[in-house]
Amino acid sequence: MASQSHTFGFIGLGNMGSQMSHNLATYAEKQGYPKVQVWNRTRSKIEHMQKQSYCEIADTIEKLVQKCDIIHTCLANDEVALSVFRQILAVGKQNLILVDHSTLYPTTSSTLQAEAEDKGSSFMSCPVFGPPAMAKSAGLLVALSGKDSAKEIVKEYIVPTIGKGVIDCGEDSSKGALMKILGNNCILGTIELLSESFTLAEKTGFDPALFYEFIQVWFPAAAWVNYGKKIKDGTFSGKTGFTLPGGMKDASFIRRLGAETSTPTPIIDQAWNHLTTAKAIGGESLDWSACAAGMRVTAGLPPFKGEDFSLASKHTNGVNGEANGSGKDH
Ligand SMILES: NC(=O)c1ccc[n+]([C@@H]2O[C@H](COP(=O)([O-])OP(=O)(O)OC[C@H]3O[C@@H](n4cnc5c(N)ncnc54)[C@H](OP(=O)(O)O)[C@@H]3O)[C@@H](O)[C@H]2O)c1
């Protein structure tokens, strides 16, 4: 079946969205579609994209909507998503396909689906699994949910353009959001367990590099290998990963689901405490693997090894902590 031409939009070009929109632009160019319209709250962060990608920066969300029929989004949190989608729908254009990759609470996705359908458009919850590096190589796993008619159109390109696979969670968009939260329960649980294991290795005098060899051989899955390396090395910069506020948002979703259904979530409760400690010591720009820094403190170890991310050292040095990348334990 010959595919119909589309004009894509992409809103929210942060750590994840910048990679995904670039891949979407490459696809649009190959298909001979119009340039992808992009919009980001902080325009200065995406000025370079017009040179590097087959895209055009839209001055406003309204102008982007007027040119597009399929709009992808990847936004920080529920409040931002509600605000952005209401601006999209306020334009009054019908038959839009809205493909949201943000991690949102299921009831927020349901609200957005109802509001979009009320205005004659489709909303799909399409959260993704994988860090920015995987988004760059289009290696994400996408949980798709929304009306079948819209899903069929998106399925024509989403693999291999944005991801390497999809799990179809049905027509109710809250189910895609729920799948993402359940998956994150496993990922944050893995980070918590790795934090504990590497701390125990260090406290018992076992070489963390040797223990990491075991992780690579015995748990050869992306979350174990990638977060294991960050925790082994203490490389907790959130610039190319998932920041503590984002990680804590997702942890709060898991705990809220637990509270609402009377399901204990003890591993995530512990991770929450360690993330809170890490944020207090190192600030919001850390990656959520800094959970390990919080764990180390509870075991009487200094929070950081390798680069010193502590807020105190930034204030002392007047730099972003980067001057302390001595490679030594502190
Ligand atoms: N990073 C990961 O590993 C990962 C993996 C899977 C899923 N996710 C999910 O993907 C989403 C984005 O994550 P990310 O890591 O890309 O976060 P990020 O780098 O912080 O990007 C957040 C995006 O939201 C925009 N934004 C924030 N506040 C806004 C506002 N008030 N109005 C309009 N736009 C606003 C930001 O614009 P500015 O540039 O102007 O700040 C940016 O484009 C989140 O829902 C996250 O849970 C992340």
Same domain, 88 and 215: no
Kindly report the pTM of this predicted structure. 0.92
pLDDT of residue 3: 65
Same domain, 148 and 209: no
Q: Which of 156, 171, 186 is the last residue of a domain?
A: 171
| Structural contact between residues 125 and 101, judged by C-beta atoms closer than 8 angstroms | no
110 alpha carbon to ligand 1 midpoint, in Å? 20
Mean pLDDT throughout 59-70? 98
Q: What confidence tens digit (pLDDT) does each residue in 239-253 have?
A: 888 999 999 999 999
Q: What confidence tens digit (pLDDT) does each residue in 219-269 have?
A: 999 999 999 999 999 999 998 889 999 999 999 999 999 999 999 999 999
Out of 18, 21, 41, 129, give the residue to mutate to test ligand 1, the one with the largest number of ligand atoms within 8 Å of its CB. 41
Structural domain of residue 190, as residue ranges? 178-324
Same domain, 213 and 314: yes
Same domain, 240 and 135: no
Instruction: Report residue 205 CA to chain centroid gap.
Output: 35
pLDDT of residue 312: 78
Same domain, 279 and 234: yes
* Nearest CA owner, ligand 1 atom 11: 102
- Residue 1 resides in a domain: no
Burial class (CB in 10 A: 0-12, 13-18, 19+), 148: exposed
Strand partners, 80: none
HSE-up of residue 50 (Cα within 13 Å, Cβ side): 10
- Cβ of 195 closer than 6 Å to ligand 1, yes or no, is no
- Residue 2 resides in a domain: no
Q: What confidence tens digit (pLDDT) does each residue in 174-218 have?
A: 999 999 999 999 999 999 999 999 999 999 999 999 999 999 999
In this predicted structure, the answer to whether residue 316 has a pLDDT above a threshold of 90 is no
Q: Which of 138, 154, 171 is the last residue of a domain?
A: 171
Same domain, 12 and 95: yes
Q: What sign has the CA pseudo-torsion 243, 55, 134, 141?
A: positive
| CATH number, domain with residue 144 | 3.40.50.720
Same domain, 42 and 191: no
- Residue 119 resides in a domain: yes
Same domain, 158 and 255: no
Same domain, 144 and 272: no
Measured CA to CA, the distance from residue 38 to residue 67 in angstroms comes to: 11
Same domain, 156 and 262: no
Mean pLDDT throughout 157-181? 98
- Residue 29 resides in a domain: yes
Share of the chain above pLDDT 70, in %: 94
Closest-lying ligand 1 atom to the alpha carbon of residue 250:
47
**Number of independent structural domains in the chain:** 2
> Taking all residues of the chain, what is their mean pLDDT, rounded to a whole number?
94
